[in-house]
Amino acid sequence: MKQYIVDAFTKRVFHGNPAAVCVMEAWLSDELMQQIAIENNLSETAFMVREGERYHIRWFTPGAEVDLCGHATLATSFVLTRFFDPQAEELVFTSLSGELRVRKADELLELDFPSRMPRPVPFTTQMRQLVHGLPAQAYVDRDLILVLEDEQSVRDYIPDYAAISALEGELGLFITAPSRTYDFVSRTFFPKLKINEDPVCGSAHCNLIPYWAKRLGKTKMTAYQASPRGGVLYCEDRGDRVRIGGHAVLYSEAEIRV
């Protein structure tokens, strides 16, 4: 089975978010796909099977299968348009989050994903402890989102992974703030999924785009994920959908013998 590793949301190897992409003719067992994801030890491994004119995609972290992943979908689209379907202008995926589309947009690959506006919740003592006493506004969807006052607080943030793992209900933690260079910055943490910090999280922007679009009064924005690897996302709010554009670069090709 062919496997590719692609750095997503970047033009440079060793930046952005690395994802493994497994191109298959038929599905493996869930157990084997989980073992491959554990062996890869990347934040996501995407498994893809062509079904007619569409592609069925699934995403596994080292800890579990997830219902949506942006950077691994971008990485899969990069592999498909480079090695398997170079004439395609748009790809259609079937997934646990419904139909997803990815289109070529000049040099970018642009994800069409569901918009998920988070709901405001009280800022609790536990949340204050997570951000070391900094003032913040709190929102929740699948994950906890803490909006800080300035970009430097996001960049300097030192996570307490045990405390993030102790969150009840929320899968991960996002921190975000306005930016002078970009429209907004963020960082994302998923220790429950055995991913301490996800370098560039596309699916997080399903929440962040509608939030920042409403706050900033803009539909088109540029975002930066301020992890040590870093990555740029070109964002657009389209009502019940968001568009997330990014670059990608190939790191490696391999043959998995299972």
Residue 175 pLDDT exceeds 90: yes
pLDDT for residue 249: 98
| Tens digit of each residue's pLDDT (9 = 90 or more) over 103-126 | 999 889 999 999 999 999 999 999
Contact status, residue 61 vs residue 194, Cβ threshold 8 Å:
yes
Decide if 44 is catalytic: yes
Give yes or no on whether 2-110+246-255 and 119-243 have one common fold. Answer: yes
What percentage of the chain exceeds 70 in pLDDT? Answer: 100
Contact status, residue 52 vs residue 46, Cβ threshold 8 Å:
no
Q: What is the residue-averaged pLDDT of the chain?
A: 96
Superfamily (CATH) of domain 2-110+246-255: Diaminopimelate Epimerase; Chain A, domain 1 (3.10.310.10)
**3 burial type by CB count under 10 A (0-12 exposed, 13-18 middle, 19+ buried):** buried
CA distance 179 to 221: 11
Domain assignments of the chain as residue spans, ordered by start:
2-110+246-255, 119-243
Find the catalytic residue in 31, 39, 44, 151: 44
| Tens digit of each residue's pLDDT (9 = 90 or more) over 142-154 | 999 999 999 999 9
**Stretch 238-255: mean pLDDT:** 97
pLDDT for residue 30: 98
| Tens digit of each residue's pLDDT (9 = 90 or more) over 21-74 | 999 999 999 999 999 999 999 999 999 999 999 999 999 999 999 999 999 999
CA distance 74 to 61: 16
CA distance 198 to 29: 26
Confidence of residue 258 (pLDDT cuts 50, 70, 90): confident
Assigned architecture for domain 119-243:
Roll (3.10)
